Structure 1
Amino acid sequence: MKTSAKFIVLHPSIHKQSNGGSVIASSHRSWFLFFVLFFIFAFVFTFFTTREAATTAGTAAAPANSGLPKPIFDALIHYASTNSTTTNGRMSSAELKAIAAVLRRCAAPCNVLVFGLTHETLLWNTLNHNGRTVFVDESSYLVSILEEKHPGIEAYDVQFTTKASELYDLMEHYKFQVKNECRPVQNLLFSDCKLAVNDLPNHMYDVPWDVILIDGPRGYSPSAPGRTAAIFTAGVLARSKRGGAEKTHVFVHEFERELETVCSFEFLCRENLVDSIDLLGHFVVGKMEATEIQFCPNSGSSSSSPE
């Protein structure tokens, strides 16, 4: 008898297949939902963390790049200039406002060098908020008192070796040395020019000064130091600076006096005088190449200097 082979075919249960597929699909959906939620959480966390850090950094960085708010700046000028007179060396309202206008336009941080400790010292230091303001004076006593009362102010005392009565002798020395020790572009720290102020801290000569105010040393008597050295030094610093703005604003107070006028026109140049307000001369002096040997090439004031 011929028999045929029978094969047993096992069919998977439709019910079981359906349940298994549902479990697998459900598992896949759970994992997918988990990853979606994870990435959403990560994105939200990163977004707010980064935003908070950027806000904090921006807030911390803002004071370093901004000066006083305009209302405060204006209020200080208003009260400083109210009833201001030129008696006892004090500046007039017009003079204060002229200097303040330049400080306001100066991009913070602004580097300001002031010769002389005066009634306006605290004003200049405050108006140049977040900038660097350095004061230089002939009196070590006044400098120490200032530092004691206002520890945050940077000030140095300098021994000026010149006298107001020596003006024309000093001018002859300068003209003889204009191509050597008294040249307009140099590092004053190593200068032997009699008119150079070279005993400041070394780093002071590397600062690109934006504004230089000359309101000292004393110059009201022949035996006083006079401002020949201060004006000469300002002229060299403005022409020799590296970095910063191309030009330096130089203010000379009591500009009407003979010494101040002669030295300003010689070292800051008549053509650089942009304004004269009461007793204040305002010069804008540009940088020069190291090869230049005249302070005022256009006037030819030094062209006849001896070799």
Structure 2
Amino acid sequence: MKSGGGNTNTKLILVHPYIQKQTSTNRLWLLAFISFFTISFLLTLLYTTDTIISTKTTSTVASSSPISQLPTTTINALLHYASRSNDSYHMSHGEMKSISDVLRRCPPPCNLLVFGLTHETLLWKSLNHNGRTVYIEENRYYAAYFEEIHPEIEVFDVQYTTKAREARELVSAVKDAVENECRPVQNLLFSDCKLGLNDLPNHVYDLDWDVILVDGPRGDGGDVPGRMASIFTAAVLARSKKAGGSHKTHVFVHDYYREIERLCGDEFLCRENLVESNDMLAHYVLERMDKNSTRFCRGRKKRSVSSSS
């Protein structure tokens, strides 16, 4: 076709119906894929959120629930068989039950410090279920041996420098220095007191002890260490607890019928704190003291060591 002075080319494009059908099908597939992906993403998001919430809820419930303790039947069985030993140095059933009752009432996790490895060592560890139990032993070789055969036991050896025959002299010296290096509230790690144990691991002084049992070192002769230092150390640890938590510490002294145990118990743990006693076991409950305190016992005169035990 010609018009005016120029040429115009006209093109005709024909679209086959098959091509239109194919394009429509591809769009449907694309839409289906996007829809599937979207639904899958939403379901995954909902499931993940629900799982996280469920996990947090379970964790919160678990952390808020009390720590399980040994069943009463298990405790009674342990006490029964421990008291049936042929070892003449073991505690009686009544003595072990007194300590067991306190451990059972102790809010978990309970911190138990024991002076001496004895027939009942494994018993205390078992009764203080889910708590921390630490032992202090005078014989380094026996401590290493015991820890080797019972790796679950935490035991430290300590070198005592005292002699049982010097008990009254040492207690008198402590009474003279009660306002200085032998204060009832102090960090024994830096103490120069003659009866203060200052070579134990740092965490022994940092922990707040809920229960302390003095059943060592040896005290049945003049040249053995005697329990002056362990009783004095127990008295200071109990009174030096940090603020917060329980202000009370239960202190047990075994072999209370002996002169040194009774003397040091009266001077450092104090009779007004004695809640139970028999010929072998004394039970004291000590309160945390102010850091400026200079007397172990209320109303006690400074010099009273010379009085009869």
**Structure-1-length-normalised TM-score:** 0.80
Counterpart contact for 1:64–1:109, Cα < 8 Å: no
The correspondence of residues 54-203 of structure 1 with structure 2, limited to 5 A, is 54-55=57-58, 65-81=67-83, 83=84, 88-203=88-203
Rounded to whole Å, the distance in 2 between the matches of 1:126 and 1:296 is 34
Deviation at residue 135 of structure 1 after TM alignment? 0.3
Is the CA contact (8 Å cut-off) linking 2:113 and 2:133 kept in structure 1? yes
CA deviations 1:236-295 (Å, max 9, x no partner) are 000011143101000000011110001001100000000014410000001000111000
Give unmatched runs, 5+ long, in structure 1: 1-30
1:76–1:57 distance in 2 versus 1, CA, 3 Å: farther
Q: Which residue of 1 aligns with 2:28?
A: none
CA contact (8 A) 1:268 1:283 kept: yes
Which residue matches 1:264? 265
What is the CA distance between 1:207 and its match in structure 2? 0.6
User: 1-side partners of 2:41 and 2:202: how far apart?
Assistant: 59
Question: Equivalent residues in 2 for 1:235-254 (5 A)?
Answer: 235-242=235-242, 243-254=244-255
Checking the alignment, whether the CA contact within 8 Å between 1:185 and 1:240 is kept in structure 2 is: yes
Kindly indicate whether the alpha-carbon contact (under 8 Å) linking 1:63 and 1:130 is maintained by their aligned counterparts in 2: no
State the secondary structure of the residue aligned to 2:179.
coil
- Kindly state the Cα deviation for residue 64 of structure 1 after the two structures are TM-superposed: 8.9
Q: Is the 8 A contact 1:115 1:137 kept in 2?
A: yes
SS at match of 1:75: helix
Q: Secondary structure, in 3 states, of the residue corresponding to 2:270?
A: helix
* Whole-angstrom CA distance in 2 between matches of 1:78 and 1:228: 31
Q: Secondary structure at the match of 2:156?
A: strand
Distance 1:301 1:253 in 2: 26
Query: Displacement of 1:49 after TM fit?
Result: 4.5
Distance in 1 of aligned mates of 2:258 and 2:137: 20
Q: Deviations over 1:214-251 (max 9, x none)?
A: 00000000111000000000000000111431010000
Residue in structure 2 matched with residue 217 of structure 1 by the alignment = 217
Alpha-carbon displacement from aligned partner over 1:195-221 (angstroms, at most 9, x marks no partner): 111110122111100000000000000
From the superposition, tell whether residues 304 and 76 of structure 1 become closer, same or farther in structure 2 (CA, over 3 Å). Answer: closer
CA RMSD of aligned residues (A): 2.9
- Name the amino acid aligned to 1:117: L
What amino acid does structure 2 have at the position aligned with 1:165?
R
* CA-CA distance at 1:122 after TM superposition: 0.6
Q: Alpha-carbon deviation of 1:39?
A: 6.3
Q: Secondary structure at the match of 2:88?
A: helix
2:146 partner SS: helix
* Paired residue type of 1:227: R
Unaligned runs of at least 5 residues, structure 2: 1-33
2-structure distance, mates of 1:62, 1:288: 31
Q: Write the deviation string for residues 123-173 of structure 1: whole angstroms up to 9, x where unpaired.
A: 111111221110001100110111110112110111111111001110211
Moved over 4 A (4+): 34-45, 56-59, 61-64
**Displacement after TM superposition at 1:297 (Å):** 1.8
Alignment partners' CA distance in 1, 2:301 and 2:163: 23
Structure 1 residues 205 and 40: alpha-carbon distance in aligned structure 2, compared to 1, 3 A threshold = same
Distance in 2, matches of 1:302 and 1:130, equals 42
Q: Which amino acid aligns with 2:141?
A: Y
Q: Which residue of 2 aligns with 1:13?
A: none
Shift in Å at residue 37 of structure 1? Answer: 9.8
Find the aligned partners of 1:68 and 1:46 in 2 and give their Cα distance.
37
TM-score under structure 2 length normalisation: 0.80
For the residue of structure 2 that corresponds to 1:88, the secondary structure is coil
